[in-house]
Structure 1
Amino acid sequence: MMIVDLVDEVDFKEKLIALGAPVTHEQSLLEVQEAVLAWLQAYPEQTPFIKELCESMQKDNTTVLPEVYRVMSAFG
Protein backbone atom coordinates (compact mmCIF):
# COMPACT_ATOMS: atom_id res chain seq x y z
CA MET A 1 0.00 0.00 0.00
CA MET A 2 1.38 3.39 -1.01
CA ILE A 3 0.82 6.32 1.31
CA VAL A 4 0.55 9.71 -0.35
CA ASP A 5 0.63 13.05 1.38
CA LEU A 6 -2.07 15.42 0.23
CA VAL A 7 -1.72 19.20 0.31
CA ASP A 8 -5.14 20.77 0.36
CA GLU A 9 -6.35 24.33 0.85
CA VAL A 10 -6.31 24.06 4.67
CA ASP A 11 -2.75 22.69 4.77
CA PHE A 12 -1.57 25.35 2.37
CA LYS A 13 -3.07 28.20 4.39
CA GLU A 14 -1.64 26.80 7.63
CA LYS A 15 1.84 26.65 6.13
CA LEU A 16 1.58 30.21 4.83
CA ILE A 17 0.35 31.44 8.20
CA ALA A 18 3.29 29.67 9.87
CA LEU A 19 5.62 31.68 7.62
CA GLY A 20 3.97 34.90 8.74
CA ALA A 21 1.99 35.57 5.58
CA PRO A 22 -1.09 37.77 6.11
CA VAL A 23 -3.52 34.94 5.40
CA THR A 24 -6.59 33.67 7.24
CA HIS A 25 -8.42 30.39 7.04
CA GLU A 26 -11.56 32.23 5.94
CA GLN A 27 -10.02 33.62 2.76
CA SER A 28 -10.61 32.01 -0.61
CA LEU A 29 -7.59 30.78 -2.52
CA LEU A 30 -7.85 33.79 -4.82
CA GLU A 31 -7.79 36.11 -1.81
CA VAL A 32 -4.83 34.18 -0.41
CA GLN A 33 -2.98 34.55 -3.69
CA GLU A 34 -3.62 38.30 -3.81
CA ALA A 35 -2.64 38.77 -0.15
CA VAL A 36 0.60 36.82 -0.48
CA LEU A 37 1.60 38.53 -3.73
CA ALA A 38 1.02 41.95 -2.13
CA TRP A 39 2.96 40.83 0.95
CA LEU A 40 5.86 39.64 -1.18
CA GLN A 41 5.90 42.95 -3.01
CA ALA A 42 6.07 44.81 0.30
CA TYR A 43 8.53 42.33 1.86
CA PRO A 44 10.59 40.80 -0.97
CA GLU A 45 12.95 39.22 1.55
CA GLN A 46 10.17 36.69 2.23
CA THR A 47 10.20 35.40 -1.37
CA PRO A 48 12.82 32.67 -0.83
CA PHE A 49 10.78 31.27 2.07
CA ILE A 50 7.59 31.12 0.01
CA LYS A 51 9.44 29.52 -2.90
CA GLU A 52 11.02 26.95 -0.58
CA LEU A 53 7.62 26.15 0.90
CA CYS A 54 6.10 25.63 -2.54
CA GLU A 55 9.00 23.48 -3.69
CA SER A 56 8.85 21.32 -0.58
CA MET A 57 5.13 20.72 -1.08
CA GLN A 58 5.75 19.44 -4.61
CA LYS A 59 8.33 16.81 -3.68
CA ASP A 60 8.10 13.02 -3.73
CA ASN A 61 4.85 11.36 -2.74
CA THR A 62 3.08 14.66 -2.18
CA THR A 63 -0.11 15.34 -4.06
CA VAL A 64 -1.07 19.00 -4.38
CA LEU A 65 -4.67 19.73 -5.29
CA PRO A 66 -4.91 21.52 -8.65
CA GLU A 67 -6.47 24.68 -7.20
CA VAL A 68 -3.65 24.93 -4.63
CA TYR A 69 -1.05 24.27 -7.33
CA ARG A 70 -2.40 27.18 -9.40
CA VAL A 71 -1.91 29.55 -6.47
CA MET A 72 1.57 28.18 -5.79
CA SER A 73 2.47 28.74 -9.44
CA ALA A 74 1.58 32.43 -9.11
CA PHE A 75 4.32 32.80 -6.50
CA GLY A 76 7.02 32.01 -9.02
Structure 2
Amino acid sequence: MMIVDLVDEVDFKERLIALGAPVTQEQSLAQVQSAVLSWLQSYPEQTPFVKDLCTEMQKDNTTVLPEVSTVMAAFG
Protein backbone atom coordinates (compact mmCIF):
# COMPACT_ATOMS: atom_id res chain seq x y z
CA MET A 1 0.00 0.00 0.00
CA MET A 2 1.28 3.43 -0.94
CA ILE A 3 0.69 6.38 1.34
CA VAL A 4 0.75 9.80 -0.28
CA ASP A 5 0.95 13.12 1.50
CA LEU A 6 -1.60 15.43 -0.04
CA VAL A 7 -1.64 19.19 0.34
CA ASP A 8 -5.14 20.47 -0.26
CA GLU A 9 -6.75 23.86 0.15
CA VAL A 10 -7.53 23.30 3.84
CA ASP A 11 -3.96 22.26 4.68
CA PHE A 12 -2.55 25.20 2.77
CA LYS A 13 -4.76 27.72 4.55
CA GLU A 14 -4.03 26.16 7.96
CA ARG A 15 -0.30 26.49 7.41
CA LEU A 16 -0.60 30.09 6.24
CA ILE A 17 -2.72 30.91 9.28
CA ALA A 18 -0.06 29.32 11.50
CA LEU A 19 2.48 31.74 9.95
CA GLY A 20 0.25 34.65 10.91
CA ALA A 21 -1.03 35.41 7.43
CA PRO A 22 -4.41 37.23 7.34
CA VAL A 23 -6.22 34.22 5.89
CA THR A 24 -9.40 32.37 6.88
CA GLN A 25 -10.70 28.96 5.89
CA GLU A 26 -13.76 30.63 4.36
CA GLN A 27 -11.75 32.50 1.74
CA SER A 28 -11.37 31.20 -1.79
CA LEU A 29 -7.87 30.46 -3.04
CA ALA A 30 -8.00 33.63 -5.15
CA GLN A 31 -8.82 35.64 -2.02
CA VAL A 32 -6.04 33.88 -0.11
CA GLN A 33 -3.56 34.71 -2.85
CA SER A 34 -4.58 38.36 -2.85
CA ALA A 35 -4.52 38.62 0.95
CA VAL A 36 -1.10 37.01 1.28
CA LEU A 37 0.46 39.09 -1.51
CA SER A 38 -0.89 42.25 0.11
CA TRP A 39 0.38 41.08 3.51
CA LEU A 40 3.83 40.41 2.07
CA GLN A 41 3.94 43.92 0.61
CA SER A 42 3.19 45.36 4.04
CA TYR A 43 5.45 42.89 5.90
CA PRO A 44 8.23 41.89 3.48
CA GLU A 45 10.14 40.26 6.32
CA GLN A 46 7.56 37.45 6.17
CA THR A 47 8.47 36.56 2.57
CA PRO A 48 11.18 34.00 3.44
CA PHE A 49 8.79 32.19 5.77
CA VAL A 50 6.09 31.94 3.10
CA LYS A 51 8.65 30.75 0.53
CA ASP A 52 10.00 28.15 2.98
CA LEU A 53 6.46 26.97 3.65
CA CYS A 54 5.80 26.53 -0.06
CA THR A 55 9.08 24.70 -0.56
CA GLU A 56 8.36 22.40 2.37
CA MET A 57 4.91 21.60 1.04
CA GLN A 58 6.30 20.66 -2.38
CA LYS A 59 8.73 17.98 -1.19
CA ASP A 60 9.29 14.93 -3.37
CA ASN A 61 6.81 12.65 -1.60
CA THR A 62 4.06 15.26 -1.33
CA THR A 63 1.25 15.77 -3.81
CA VAL A 64 0.01 19.34 -4.08
CA LEU A 65 -3.35 19.95 -5.70
CA PRO A 66 -2.96 22.01 -8.90
CA GLU A 67 -5.09 24.89 -7.58
CA VAL A 68 -2.88 25.17 -4.49
CA SER A 69 0.28 24.88 -6.57
CA THR A 70 -0.85 27.81 -8.72
CA VAL A 71 -1.26 30.02 -5.64
CA MET A 72 2.13 28.89 -4.28
CA ALA A 73 3.76 29.90 -7.56
CA ALA A 74 2.40 33.44 -7.12
CA PHE A 75 4.37 33.74 -3.86
CA GLY A 76 7.66 33.27 -5.65
Fold shared per TM-score above 0.5: yes
What stretches of structure 2 of length at least 5 have no aligned partner?
A: none
Match of 1:55 in 2: 55
- Report matched runs for 1:7-46 at 5 Å: 7-46=7-46
Runs of 4+ in 1 over 2 A off after TM superposition: none
Q: Percent identity?
A: 82
Tell me the distance in 1 between the aligned counterparts of 2:2 and 2:55. 22
Q: TM-score, normalised by structure 2?
A: 0.98
- Measured after TM superposition, the shift of residue 60 of structure 1 is 1.9
Q: How many pairs were matched up?
A: 76
Tell me the distance in 2 between the aligned counterparts of 1:47 and 1:10. 21
Amino acid paired to 2:13: K
Tell me the distance in 1 between the aligned counterparts of 2:10 and 2:26. 10
What stretches of structure 1 of length at least 5 have no aligned partner?
A: none
Cα root mean square deviation, aligned? 0.4
